[in-house]
């Protein structure tokens, strides 16, 4: 018998409407015994079944729901079906040679991320309950999904909120952790052992493709280039010249190798700079570009720091706008869940006003389809991507 948890009267309404999280202060009590990480059942204050998931009372998010079907047994076969459903969905909506196979709560596997780089899979586990299923998940990837190897990148600080230590390493027999992939006609070397997150930012795949039509014969500036993904897409699409900037020497060294891999080193170059520092210098010097791309890291990871993040986004967009030729394009985005679409648009408009320029919106996009947005979970929506013409 699974332990039954009961919610306080008037609490858990979001969970009843489909949100997968239940917080500590929403729980009235429980019937039975449990160990953190166990699968449990959840009922509202009137005794109506809400769902099954796993418990961890050391986390502010005490319960993460995995199913609304009381008949489901959360076991190996359940996980096998969840992974099959996740991959089948992606097979319909995106190139699966390299993609995000599992996007946590949006795939009803809370706390779990799985990225695929050809036949190498990278797992990130952020919740105690899903961590318990790690061996089963690896086994399923090997047997059902053609994995040649699986690597773990759970070396993230948020695991401490679940009472877990950071960890990384092979979950199968060791293999070469430098993996070559191809996306939108661009080849990349991906360092799954030491690269950021799981080694590569897959969530901008379709957005990188979207800039192809803007950059032909253009002079392009790509800020926060990381390992050169937007810059290389511009190069492949026929840009006249591309300059990619990043504050990290390691990232720039990697970007240069990727340029060589694609035979683009004659038109795509990279330099180490802090974009906040160098862009105003170049603006004073009168530099201009046909396309300026701004893909900064998240300036806020909590509601409390939104005001500071807004200042950061305004500043970098102000500096970027000043470098765009009249009639050119600004490509700008935010990867912060807490920076709403409306707030980001408002911030960019303020930056344009201060720069004495007018923006004409060309396109708005979100994260790639392999990072689906669950309509009952706001947290799954984080990436906002704008293309503006600067006039």
130 and 251 inside one domain: no
55 and 16 in contact (C-beta within 8 Å)?
A: no
Q: Calculate ∠ Cα 15-3-379, nearest 5°.
A: 25
Convert the pLDDT of each residue in 13-49 to its tens digit: 999 999 999 999 999 999 999 999 999 999 999 999 9
What's residue 129's pLDDT? 97
Which of helix, strand or coil describes residue 47? Answer: coil
219 and 338 inside one domain: yes
What's residue 276's pLDDT? 95
Q: How many residues does the chain have?
A: 391
What's residue 213's pLDDT? 96
Number of domains within the chain? 3
- The domain spanning residue 291 has which CATH number? 3.40.50.150
In a domain, 359, yes or no: yes
Residue 92 CB burial class (10 angstroms; 0-12, 13-18, ≥19): exposed
Among 139, 160, 176, where does a domain finish?
A: 176
172 and 33 inside one domain: no
Prediction pTM value: 0.95
Q: How far apart are CA 294 and CA 316, in angstroms?
A: 8
52 and 10 inside one domain: yes
Convert the pLDDT of each residue in 52-95 to its tens digit: 999 999 999 999 999 999 999 999 999 999 999 999 999 999 99
In a domain, 182, yes or no: no
pLDDT surpasses 80 at 301: no
In a domain, 183, yes or no: no
Task: Compute the Cα dihedral for 34, 18, 80, 102 and give only its sign.
Answer: negative
103 and 245 inside one domain: no
Convert the pLDDT of each residue in 165-215 to its tens digit: 999 999 999 999 999 999 999 999 999 999 889 999 999 999 999 999 999
pLDDT surpasses 80 at 233: yes
Among 122, 142, 176, where does a domain finish?
A: 176
240 and 285 inside one domain: yes
Enumerate residues 6+ apart whose C-beta is below 8 A from 298. Answer: 309, 334, 335, 336, 339
What's residue 307's pLDDT? 87
- The domain spanning residue 31 has which CATH number? 2.30.130.10
For 379, the domain range is 201-390
Percent of the chain with pLDDT over 70: 99
pLDDT band at 304 (very low <50, low <70, confident <90, very high): confident
What's residue 306's pLDDT? 86
Among 113, 142, 176, where does a domain finish?
A: 176
With b for 16 or more beta-carbon neighbours within 10 A and e for fewer, the 95-111 pattern comes to beebbbbbbbbbbbbbb
What's residue 157's pLDDT? 93
Closest listed residue to residue 385, CA positions, set 237, 211, 234: 211
Convert the pLDDT of each residue in 90-118 to its tens digit: 999 999 999 999 999 999 999 999 999 99
154 and 217 inside one domain: no
In a domain, 186, yes or no: no
245 and 294 in contact (C-beta within 8 Å)?
A: no
361 and 269 inside one domain: yes
In a domain, 247, yes or no: yes
In a domain, 254, yes or no: yes
299 and 229 inside one domain: yes
- The domain spanning residue 143 has which CATH number? 3.30.750.80
- Residue range 137-142: mean pLDDT, rounded: 98
pLDDT band at 298 (very low <50, low <70, confident <90, very high): confident
161 and 137 inside one domain: yes
In a domain, 92, yes or no: yes
In a domain, 193, yes or no: no
40 and 5 in contact (C-beta within 8 Å)?
A: yes
DSSP states along 295-322 = -PPPS-SSGGGHHHHHHHHHHHHHHHHT
81 and 60 inside one domain: no
Which of helix, strand or coil describes residue 65? Answer: strand
Query: Which H, E and C letters describe 367-389, residue by residue?
Result: CCCCCCCCCCCHHHCCCEEEEEE
Convert the pLDDT of each residue in 313-366 to its tens digit: 999 999 999 999 999 999 999 999 889 999 999 999 999 999 999 999 999 999
By annotation, the residues acting in catalysis are 335
253 and 147 inside one domain: no
């Amino acid at each position: 018998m699974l332990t039954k948890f009961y919610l306080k009267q008037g609490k858990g309404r979001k969970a009843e409407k489909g949100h997968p999280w239940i917080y500590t202060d929403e729980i009235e009590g429980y019937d039975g015994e449990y160990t953190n990480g166990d699968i449990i059942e959840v009922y509202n204050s009137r005794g109506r079944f809400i769902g099954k998931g796993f418990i961890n009372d050391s986390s502010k998010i005490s319960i993460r729901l995995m199913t609304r079907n009381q008949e489901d047994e959360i076991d190996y076969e359940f996980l096998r079906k969840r992974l099959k459903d996740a991959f089948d969905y992606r097979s319909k909506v995106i190139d699966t040679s390299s993609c995000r196979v599992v996007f946590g709560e949006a795939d009803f596997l809370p706390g779990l991320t799985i990225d695929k780089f050809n036949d190498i899979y990278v797992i990130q586990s952020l919740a105690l309950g899903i961590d318990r299923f790690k061996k089963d998940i690896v086994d399923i990837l090997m047997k059902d999904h053609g994995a040649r190897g699986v690597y773990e990148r759970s070396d993230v600080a948020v695991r401490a909120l679940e009472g877990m230590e950071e960890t990384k390493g092979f979950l199968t027999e060791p293999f070469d952790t430098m993996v070559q992939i191809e996306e939108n006609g661009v080849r990349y070397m991906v360092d799954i052992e030491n690269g950021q997150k799981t080694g590569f930012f897959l969530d901008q795949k379709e957005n990188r493709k979207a800039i192809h039509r803007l950059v032909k014969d253009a002079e392009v500036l790509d800020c926060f280039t990381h390992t050169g993904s937007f810059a290389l897409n511009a190069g492949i699409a026929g840009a006249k010249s591309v300059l990619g900037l990043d504050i990290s020497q390691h990232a720039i060294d990697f970007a240069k190798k990727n340029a060589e891999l694609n035979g683009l080193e004659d038109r795509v170059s990279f330099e180490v700079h802090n974009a906040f520092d160098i862009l105003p210098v170049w603006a004073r010097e009168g530099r201009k570009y046909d396309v300026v791309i701004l893909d900064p890291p998240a300036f806020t990871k909590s509601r409390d720091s939104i005001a500071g993040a807004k200042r950061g986004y305004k500043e970098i967009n102000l500096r970027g706008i000043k470098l765009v030729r009249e009639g050119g394009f600004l490509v700008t985005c935010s990867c912060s869940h807490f920076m709403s679409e409306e707030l980001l648009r408002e911030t960019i408009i303020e930056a344009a006003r201060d720069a004495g320029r007018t923006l004409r919106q060309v396109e708005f996009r979100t994260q790639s389809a392999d990072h689906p947005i669950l309509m009952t979970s706001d947290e799954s929506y984080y990436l906002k991507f704008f293309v503006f013409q600067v006039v």
